């Protein structure tokens, strides 16, 4: 299993744990802006990131020289996904409680980073989805 | 990877980008509001990401890697799975476009097609969930 896959999967597991912890907290105390964070920790931080890691590892090889495509692009995917998601985790409750220019800008930056992670992932994966 | 899996997986990647783009627009709009109608993307955002991305990816990968049959068609009745592919994609679009069409039958038909697709997938894959040696 390549290093990046291990990092993807372990990070996904951390988000999974955090999401479940947040779920417990949310049943005890109502916190503004936490429900979208909870959903996206599960669906983006856990499921999608796990899928990214496994696809990077298991899909047909891109070429003999670069079997997993452009490694730098894959690292950018990892960085953008996680920075974008962490920004959202911080900014979304802040914005829901007391919206400011800073929290709004952080949400915009988070959206751009998460979108960029998807774009780089698809760009790096597309050619690996091929018939034998 | 068989041809049908390529179609399933590539379509799932397209839905992923579409769903992510809609979600990103909504998040940007949450941070810096620019158009209230952006919120109408919520249904399509969820439809594209849950059914279009995750379910379709799972179907494509399952068709590729589940144990094959020793005799006859190695992956069973492929026609059944092509029908599942078509029904799923038609259903996703019908369900996603319903808010703009104002016709309740559109979402209902879409959901029925999605359920039918999953039924076809389960029916076509059931026998392949087996120990490798049988």
Tokens 């592919």, residue located: B85
Query: Is the Cβ of B133 closer than 8 Å to some Cβ of chain A?
Result: no
Integer Cα distance of A52 and A15 in angstroms: 14
B24 interfaces chain A, CB cutoff of 8 Å: yes
A89–chain B Cβ distance below 8 A for any pair: no
Spatial separation of the C-alpha atoms in residues B116 and B87, rounded to whole Å: 7
Are the beta carbons of B1 and A122 separated by less than 8 Å?
no
Nearest CA in chain A to B22: A115
On whether the CB atoms of residues B106 and B98 are closer than 8 A, the answer is yes
Residues of chain B contacting residue A120, judged by C-beta atoms under 8 Å apart: none
At residue A122, the 3 state secondary structure works out as helix
CA distance, residue B104 to nearest chain A CA (Å): 27
pLDDT per position as a tens digit, B30-77:
999 999 999 999 999 999 999 999 999 999 999 999 999 988 899 999
A108–chain B Cβ distance below 8 A for any pair? yes
Residue A115: pLDDT above 80? yes
- Tokens 């936490």 locate to A34
pLDDT at position B134 over 70: no
Mean pLDDT of chain B: 94
Nearest to A121 by CA among A63, A64, A50, A65: A50
The CA dihedral of A106, B42, A35, A88, to the nearest 10 degrees, is -20
For the segment A55-68, the average pLDDT, to the nearest whole number, is 94
For residue B26, what pLDDT band results from cuts at 50, 70 and 90? very high
């Amino acid at each position: 299993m390549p290093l990046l896959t291990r990092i993807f999967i372990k990070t996904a597991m951390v988000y999974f744990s955090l999401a479940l912890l947040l779920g417990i907290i949310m049943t005890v105390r109502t916190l503004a802006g936490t429900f979208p964070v909870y959903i996206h920790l599960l669906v983006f931080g856990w499921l999608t990131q796990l899928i990214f890691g496994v696809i990077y590892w298991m899909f047909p090889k891109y070429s003999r020289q670069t079997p997993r495509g452009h490694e730098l692009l894959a690292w950018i995917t990892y960085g953008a996904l996680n920075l974008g998601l962490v920004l959202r985790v911080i900014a979304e409750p802040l914005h829901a409680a007391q919206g400011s220019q800073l929290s709004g800008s952080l949400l915009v930056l988070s959206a751009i980073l998460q979108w960029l992670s998807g774009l780089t992932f698809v760009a790096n994966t597309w050619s690996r989805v091929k018939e034998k | 990877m068989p041809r049908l899996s390529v179609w399933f997986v590539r379509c799932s990647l397209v839905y992923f980008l579409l769903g992510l783009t809609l979600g990103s627009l909504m998040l940007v709009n949450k941070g810096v509001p620019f158009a209230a109608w952006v919120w109408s993307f919520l249904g399509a955002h969820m439809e594209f990401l849950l059914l279009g991305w995750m379910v379709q990816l799972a179907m494509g990968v399952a068709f590729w890697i589940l144990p094959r049959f020793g005799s006859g068609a190695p992956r069973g009745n492929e026609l059944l799975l092509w029908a599942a592919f078509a029904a799923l994609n038609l259903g996703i679009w019908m369900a996603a476009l319903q808010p703009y069409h104002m016709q309740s039958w559109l979402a209902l038909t879409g959901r029925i097609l999605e359920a039918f697709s999953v039924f076809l997938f389960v029916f076509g894959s059931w026998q392949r969930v087996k120990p490798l040696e049988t």
